[in-house]
Structure 1
């Protein structure tokens, strides 16, 4: 069992505040000190907030039960002197500054006490109240930092002591950190680890190990992961659209390429109906097909012979030649919807292809009701 050390110094002085007050004050202060002696001290709470950089923010609070008006008046005198640093009490950050060199040498880290302050408050609960005096400070390098792991190892030695009845010690890890180990066993309250006296600590205890990520969950790493997921989803969506467009445009291995995305999404400004036979429909903007021909170019005059040949592999014909061949096979005239059916191309592709062929005088188009009648130039649609 460790010797009771620093906590005894803090509590023994605070439980009898008369001695400190009478030593530095006159008769009036002595009267106030006598009143303070009647205030029953309830205990001491030590709370340590571990920070991600290895520092620790300490809060040491002593509590007084204020059961009547005399207790309250006595505490008001005490808190006024306490906040004005007029007491000769050992309840001071200087107690911790005195042990820092010893702890620093033991753990092998430079340490420093900074940002110290005092505060007091009265907490009301039911018919009674509790007066609280607090000392706060930051203890630099209190925790050993190993990459993203924080090791609480500065309680080694006998400087802190054991917890007596009415005393508590609470260690709170930084936000976002997981707990690897805590010794000895402690109760968990709001993510913090709390020991309540009487508690005897073994040599080197209490200890704790906390592990956290390089950035909090909503930091740069979280944002970058979300961005990667979003890009992946977008890539899959675009890929699915392109594959769908390709297979709807014709057989696998076709040379005419993939139809434009705007054709599948229905974007159009002017032109003929996108779906022949659909009431009120309009075709997308006509654009020349980008597919290339294989072999020698076929002129409009020579296309008839090429289209009429039955010994030519259809896969070796250009799109225009395949349309001309169909027209020859059907007496030189076909409905546009029939061409879509025979070629198994998309309606948008056929519409664009026929518009391009009409501009090159390779076919003629005649609007009949809601459909287009397509014919070879020598069929003479203009005469009908």
Structure 2
């Protein structure tokens, strides 16, 4: 073993690439169990104890891309590997100097953070490390050493889409280890790789017993639900069909306006009919109803969004773009992001929804 900065990670008797269980595994004497110590540091004297039987890693994302990591090292007590007496020795060691255990864990994970920062070019930091001890008795007697910390910029955020996993290049799971990544509240799993052992509406779970990650894995994409109707509908406002009636009425008005514009500008064989239709707003040049404009299939995705914005008077909710163009939320988010980066549109939020708008022109 190269003694310069190399850490040996031992989980359930197996080496775990990049899985930093060593410092809690270091409850055993370094020479007897292979627990890691750095070349220039003296090992901490601790009573010998077999490695954890299981390691469960739970990653909880926030909307800004940061994450809270919870690492649960589990010791099955009263079996042939671990006894209550050995568990008591471990807990006494941790209680005597919890900061040392937390600092050792933080050093291990900081190596993974450095690799993730190099792979993603995102500035990342670890903070708020804590370590605690607990026991559970049902359905079996288990000792828990729980390590938690915060990881900033862990995931990539693009408007209402969060992609996680790229900060764990080369991450490996073995038998006895699990990984769960949970999205923020009001976000749902849109896509994930590889196939998960279990999925929830906003969480993906892999078990090392049957999961292997490739170079670009794990990967999970979360999309904001965008369903805020329950918050804006009051109990005494009547049934939801009221909104449908309003939408239908607005659609009829828009249709009338389009017909009036065509009668005034699209016909060359008759006079301007005048009358009330002249008061209707004419659609902007380049809209899908303009006879001179190209059909939608000849437009780029960005041009289709811009045309839809013009048809709606320069402002539209992102969810309406999804419905109008029959796109996925992920595709819509990508196209909107491209337009926003090119300063062709502006994006702001009303409640929990994104609203797109054309940039305001300077008044003369």
Output the TM-score relative to the length of structure 1: 0.49
Partner of 2:119: 106
- Determine which of 219, 222, 238 is the counterpart of 1:207: 219
Kindly provide the CA deviation profile for residues 186-221 of structure 1, in whole angstroms up to 9, marking residues without a partner as x: 02255431111132210110001000046x74xxx6
Partner of 2:206: 195
Partner of 2:153: 141
Partner of 1:66: 77
Check whether the contact 1:14–1:89 (CA below 8 A) recurs between aligned residues. Answer: no
Partner of 1:224: 232
Q: Per-residue deviation at 1:167?
A: 0.8
Cα 1:78–1:87 change in 2 (3 A) is: farther
Check whether the contact 1:24–1:88 (CA below 8 A) recurs between aligned residues. Answer: no
Check whether the contact 1:149–1:209 (CA below 8 A) recurs between aligned residues. Answer: yes
The answer on 1:166 being equivalent to 2:173 is no
The answer on 1:177 being equivalent to 2:187 is yes
Cα distance in 1, alignment partners of residues 112 and 133 from structure 2: 25
Q: Per-residue deviation at 1:176?
A: 1.7
Which segments of structure 1 move beyond 3 Å, counting only runs of 4 or more?
20-25, 86-91, 221-234
Partner of 1:259: none
Cα distance in 1, alignment partners of residues 168 and 76 from structure 2: 33
Cα distance in 1, alignment partners of residues 242 and 207 from structure 2: 52
Secondary structure at the counterpart of residue 114 of structure 2:
helix
Check whether the contact 1:169–1:195 (CA below 8 A) recurs between aligned residues. Answer: yes
Secondary structure at the counterpart of residue 110 of structure 2:
helix
Cα distance in 2, alignment partners of residues 125 and 94 from structure 1: 33
Check whether the contact 1:188–1:194 (CA below 8 A) recurs between aligned residues. Answer: yes
Cα 1:91–1:134 change in 2 (3 A) is: farther
Cα 1:230–1:169 change in 2 (3 A) is: same
Cα 1:24–1:76 change in 2 (3 A) is: same
| Bigger mean CA deviation after superposition, 79-88 or 92-101 | 79-88
Cα distance in 2, alignment partners of residues 226 and 58 from structure 1: 38
Cα distance in 1, alignment partners of residues 179 and 56 from structure 2: 6
Q: Per-residue deviation at 1:224?
A: 3.4
* Structure 1 residues not aligned, in runs of 5+: 237-384
Partner of 1:131: 143
Partner of 2:272: none
Cα distance in 1, alignment partners of residues 24 and 131 from structure 2: 16
Check whether the contact 1:144–1:153 (CA below 8 A) recurs between aligned residues. Answer: no
Kindly provide the CA deviation profile for residues 156-185 of structure 1, in whole angstroms up to 9, marking residues without a partner as x: 532x3x211111111112222121101000
- Determine which of 42, 63, 74 is the counterpart of 2:53: 42
Secondary structure at the counterpart of residue 132 of structure 1:
strand
Cα distance in 2, alignment partners of residues 23 and 4 from structure 1: 21
Kindly provide the CA deviation profile for residues 252-294 of structure 1, in whole angstroms up to 9, marking residues without a partner as x: xxxxxxxxxxxxxxxxxxxxxxxxxxxxxxxxxxxxxxxxxxx
Q: Per-residue deviation at 1:149?
A: 0.5
The answer on 1:76 being equivalent to 2:88 is yes
Kindly provide the CA deviation profile for residues 269-326 of structure 1, in whole angstroms up to 9, marking residues without a partner as x: xxxxxxxxxxxxxxxxxxxxxxxxxxxxxxxxxxxxxxxxxxxxxxxxxxxxxxxxxx
Kindly provide the CA deviation profile for residues 96-123 of structure 1, in whole angstroms up to 9, marking residues without a partner as x: 1233233123212221112211111111
The aligned length equals 216
**Could you say which structure has the larger radius of gyration?**
1
Q: Per-residue deviation at 1:80?
A: 2.9
Q: Per-residue deviation at 1:24?
A: 3.3
Secondary structure at the counterpart of residue 76 of structure 2:
strand
Check whether the contact 2:65–2:154 (CA below 8 A) recurs between aligned residues. Answer: yes
Check whether the contact 1:107–1:153 (CA below 8 A) recurs between aligned residues. Answer: no
Cα 1:64–1:15 change in 2 (3 A) is: farther
The answer on 1:24 being equivalent to 2:49 is no
Cα distance in 2, alignment partners of residues 16 and 227 from structure 1: 58
Check whether the contact 2:102–2:147 (CA below 8 A) recurs between aligned residues. Answer: no
Q: Per-residue deviation at 1:6?
A: 1.4
